[in-house]
Amino acid sequence: MRLIYKILENSNKQIDTIYMATDIIIHDQKDNVGVVVVEKIAPKQDCSCWIMENDSSLNIQSIDEIPLGHKIAMTDLKEGDTILKYGHDIGKVVKSIKKGQHVHVHNVKTKKW
């Protein structure tokens, strides 16, 4: 079973550990990409996502195989769109990306160069 954990402080100042299965972490509610936190995601896999900012969850189906640490598109993105991760601009789309596809150097470039 795939597990990550987060630590919450309750009203008694005790620390509780809550376990939940997750495949993808989304750092900020505004992010349009998530980060794969399992060895890999297979094509057409139903994935569980955790949004850190507001402690909510959602599901997405992958289109591509995506390795650990790589990004997945959480929405359809068209050429010229801005990629948001951690709530910040990390690059621009250079080739259209469908929701659930792998987001990497083949379809995103930095705006700095």
Per-residue pLDDT of the chain (113 residues; tens, 9 = 90+): 344 444 444 555 555 555 558 999 999 999 999 999 999 999 999 999 999 999 999 999 999 999 999 999 999 999 999 999 999 999 999 999 999 999 999 999 998 87
pLDDT at 55: 92
**Gap between the Cα atoms of 51 and 14, Å rounded:** 23
Domain extent, residue 22, equals: 4-109
- What is the value of pTM for the model shown? 0.81
CATH of the domain at 44: 2.30.130.110
**Gap between the Cα atoms of 77 and 94, Å rounded:** 10
Q: Identify which of 3, 15, 90, 112 has the alpha carbon closest to the alpha carbon of residue 104.
A: 90
Q: How many domains does one find in the chain? A: 1
CA dihedral 26, 29, 31, 37 (to 10 degrees): 0
